[in-house]
Structure 1
């Protein structure tokens, strides 16, 4: 008989790996398709981005556990928007924000594409880590470009990476387990 509870105290939590909230644990609820970015991948990503995101506007479009966006807030982001369509998951993110005391973080309980289509601000760093079976990349690219500041960094994590538009230039890439990830820089001058 397999003991399903042997690691129960470690399930449904991730830790912030850097910045002012380093070591703090984030709890998240079970949700279909929710798989937080592993610590090792987040550490590599924030090494690529630079440890200090002071003054940046950050968007975590498929927030899930909120680990990427809250990591950015811990590292000094001026503002962070976490978009999560699952209302229960969004509520757990709000509770983590309250416990951390990070006032520059906003949660939008909405579909990622719908959030982008509503317009609004522009971002310096964007995290895209949708559910593995998500396939709406062409629609996403069509609306994302108008929400990016020049030289914005876009992180993408997926089982199979989609073709990037011409205006995103690969900066770094890697893989971990079944995930592939890439960090790209927005090059508006690359538009045809």
Structure 2
């Protein structure tokens, strides 16, 4: 009798000094980590912006984008995640990889964004797909509470194209992979 092995979700870093390293398992947790093909597209788009950048990873989940950013020489990443188990796993991975410049917060992202912040160079928005309200509130609060500056780059992974986008966010890249839309925005001054 053959025993069927459960296929594990292996999340690999696709570039930089941590390339090919595997993040701690996130099996038995209902998340949708950013696929490698999506990460390749995203970080090709960001290749001229990531080095020495300050990044905010909203809804960080496994920390996939946070660690990928550090591997590609971002200066600092703040990772926000509500799920305590995921936060624990991410902190374990960070410690194992000897990463010092990722700060992980076990918080509700919306509550975090509802206070005045300091602007980030790159912001990742990848909330649960079935929650358009969460995405729209995040975008609204990023603008309202000073989390962006003129020149911030905002990455949004979504399935619904009918989302709120501020007038001063200019779409610079867009790609569809299956049902997923990848959108990259640049915040500019309103003229």
Does TM, scored on the shorter chain, surpass 0.5?
yes
User: Which aligned pairs between 1:12-23 and structure 2 lie closer than 5 A?
Assistant: 12-23=9-20
1:16-48 Cα deviation digits (max 9, x unpaired): 11111111111242333x101111110111111
* Shift in alpha-carbon separation, 1:54–1:63, aligned structure 2, 3 A: same
- Contact kept, 8 Å, 2:168 with 2:189, in 1: the verdict is yes
1:60 aligned to which of 57, 61, 76: 57
Q: Distance in 2 between matches of 1:82 and 1:176?
A: 25
> What is the aligned-residue RMSD (CA, Å)?
1.9
Of 22-31 and 100-109, more deviation after overlay is shown by 22-31
Displacement of 1:120: 2.9
1:25 aligned to which of 18, 22, 29: 22
User: Are 2:105 and 1:108 aligned?
Assistant: yes
Stretches (4+) displaced over 3 A: none
SS in 1 for 2:11: strand
- Contact kept, 8 Å, 2:81 with 2:106, in 1: the verdict is yes
Where is the helix percentage greater, Structure 1 or Structure 2?
Answer: 1
Structure 2 equivalent of residue 139 of structure 1:
137
1:50-97 Cα deviation digits (max 9, x unpaired): 166222100110101111111111111111011110011111111111
SS in 2 for 1:73: helix
Paired residue total: 185
Structure 1 equivalent of residue 177 of structure 2:
176
Structure 1 unaligned spans of 5+: none
1:101-124 Cα deviation digits (max 9, x unpaired): 110100011111111113332100
SS in 2 for 1:113: helix
Structure 1 equivalent of residue 38 of structure 2:
41
* Shift in alpha-carbon separation, 1:153–1:52, aligned structure 2, 3 A: closer
| TM-score (normalised: structure 1) | 0.89
Structure 2 unaligned spans of 5+: none
